[in-house]
Structure 1
Amino acid sequence: MTDTPHPPRLSRLTFHGPLSEPRADRMVQRLAATRPHTVLDIGCGWGELLLRLLGAVPGAKGTGIDVNGEDLARARRNAEARGLADRVEFVEESALRTRRGPADVVLCLGASQALSTAESPTLEALRELRRLVTDGGRVLLGEGFWERPPTAAELSGMWPGATPADHYDLATLLDLAVEAGFRPEWTETAGTEEWEEFESAYQADAEVWLAGHPEHPLAAETRERLDRHRGQWMSYRGVLGLAYLTLVPTAI
């Protein structure tokens, strides 16, 4: 069975992050209530939340930006299947200093690093988001934060080069949003169940494939990747949080 192809990539994930269906529905309802004409999704991946928002606001048009062509192809297929292809464009390009805004709603879920080259990009990214949103619009930011200060042992098991400076606590993150020109309309954080659903689904296809094909030429590489990511998750589990901030731009 060595000719069996590699497992589908992330096929069990609805969203590329710890986001439940009920929370996504509430987010879409909250953003749709502002009646946006334009929506911009930074680091859109396959654009699931963007497509749901467009489906909830007839006539609205959207643009998704990402550098992953495979994810964008999935986004285009989904848009076509939902009858939204004429109202959305998915473009493969960097979001750094993008001129695609301003838009009435800007989505940036786990992708603020795409807006800045700074070592600590959060504040610069927030300022970019303020530039990209219209007055009276909304930004939905999904951003990591420390639930508590990580220990040295926990940091050593996370992503390469992880340091305490990689994230702020939630209070500081909110203060930075205000400094960048926003007021927080809504503050919520991913729960344990959402994280477990995301992390399990992130690995599931490959784990099942590996269990059935331990001698495949790609098995060693896949096993190393899966074990490394699981170890990282166990190191940041309960330490790294994800905040979903619905931000209103302060009038200039």
Structure 2
Amino acid sequence: MTIPPRHTRLTFHGPLSEARADQLVTRLTANTPATVLDIGCGWGELMLRILAATPEATGTGIDINTDDLARGRKAAETRGLTTRVRFLEESATDTPHGPADLVLCVGASQALGKKLPQALGELRRLVTDHGRVLLGEGFWHRTPTDAELARMWPDAKADDHPDLATLVGLAVNAGFRPEWTETASLDEWEEFESAYLADTEVWLARHPGHPLAAETRERADRHRAAWLTYRGVLGLAYLTLVPAAAH
């Protein structure tokens, strides 16, 4: 049975441009990490690029999505990185895979705790004292209205995310100093969200009578309505965090 292709237009599973990815790889590899841990790695594109730039490093990616992990393993094989990276299908809760010199947690803090302070505490535990954390975390550019929240994800609430200043403050309270603070641009968001749905939209246009079409159309329409609502309201911060030494 023909089914919609999944995420073939996406390079990264988030609003991340090639230019920003290159800058992140340069900054994060400057510290010469020997071990990299990717929480909620998906197919681990950023981790693989970091490993390619640091030939002595090894990486571990953790996720629960079988298809994404398979894509990551295939990409590692294509790039000759199989001996230096593991893609593990398991929960990140209380993970024993650390501490690492570089911890990536991009759009996946919920895998470490229901509340952001708990997740940040886990990230501090998982990074070496002289390492770095790249945290990709949502924040509100402004507080959404009730009408906007009703059109976002199910049960969306104003306290689902902090504002940017509060987010950075929480990271400091958890034992980090922010080496670098940057946020995804509107162009990055639009490229990501369009690419996220593009395969599905083309498939729906070509298979209107398919047995899966009605369910797929409803899911796509719901996702599109949500992102066009949070467009310009929900942001994503990329925080490069340095563990602070104990007093």
TM over 0.5: yes
- Give the Cα–Cα distance (whole angstroms) in 2 for the partners of residues 234 and 9 of structure 1: 21
Pairs within 5 Å for 1:14-93: 14-93=11-90
TM-score by length of 1: 0.97
Q: Is 1:131 the equivalent of 2:128?
A: no
Q: Is 1:143 the equivalent of 2:137?
A: yes
- Give the Cα–Cα distance (whole angstroms) in 2 for the partners of residues 128 and 176 of structure 1: 13
1:40 aligns to what SS in structure 2?
strand
Tell me which residue corresponds to 1:220. Answer: 214
Q: 173, 179, 182: which one pairs with 1:185?
A: 179
Alpha-carbon offset, residue 165 of structure 1: 0.7
Task: After superposition, give the CA deviation of every residue in 1:111-156 in whole Å (9 maximum; x if it has no partner).
Answer: 000001x3xx111101100000001100000000000010011000
- Give the Cα–Cα distance (whole angstroms) in 1 for the partners of residues 87 and 155 of structure 2: 32
- Give the Cα–Cα distance (whole angstroms) in 2 for the partners of residues 109 and 230 of structure 1: 22
Alpha-carbon offset, residue 59 of structure 1: 1.1
- Give the Cα–Cα distance (whole angstroms) in 2 for the partners of residues 52 and 8 of structure 1: 24
Alpha-carbon offset, residue 235 of structure 1: 1.4
Tell me which residue corresponds to 1:106. Answer: 103
Tell me which residue corresponds to 2:116. Answer: 122
Identity over aligned pairs, percent: 71
- Give the Cα–Cα distance (whole angstroms) in 2 for the partners of residues 13 and 144 of structure 1: 19
Q: Is 1:174 the equivalent of 2:186?
A: no
Query: What letter matches 2:179 in structure 1?
Result: E
Alignment RMSD (CA, Å)? 0.6
1:129 aligns to what SS in structure 2?
helix
Q: Is 1:205 the equivalent of 2:199?
A: yes
- Give the Cα–Cα distance (whole angstroms) in 2 for the partners of residues 32 and 238 of structure 1: 31
Tell me which residue corresponds to 2:4. Answer: 7
Q: 217, 228, 238: which one pairs with 1:234?
A: 228
2:236 aligns to what SS in structure 1?
strand
1:44 aligns to what SS in structure 2?
coil
Displacement over 2 Å in runs of 4+: none
Task: After superposition, give the CA deviation of every residue in 1:44-98 in whole Å (9 maximum; x if it has no partner).
Answer: 0000000000000011000000000110000000000000000000000000010
- Give the Cα–Cα distance (whole angstroms) in 2 for the partners of residues 93 and 236 of structure 1: 30
Gaps of at least 5 residues in structure 2 are none
2:144 aligns to what SS in structure 1?
coil
1:202 aligns to what SS in structure 2?
helix
How many residues are aligned here?
246
Query: What letter matches 2:161 in structure 1?
Result: H
Alpha-carbon offset, residue 8 of structure 1: 1.5
- Give the Cα–Cα distance (whole angstroms) in 1 for the partners of residues 102 and 31 of structure 2: 9
2:136 aligns to what SS in structure 1?
strand
TM-score by length of 2: 0.99
- Give the Cα–Cα distance (whole angstroms) in 1 for the partners of residues 231 and 149 of structure 2: 11
2:195 aligns to what SS in structure 1?
helix
Alpha-carbon offset, residue 7 of structure 1: 2.2
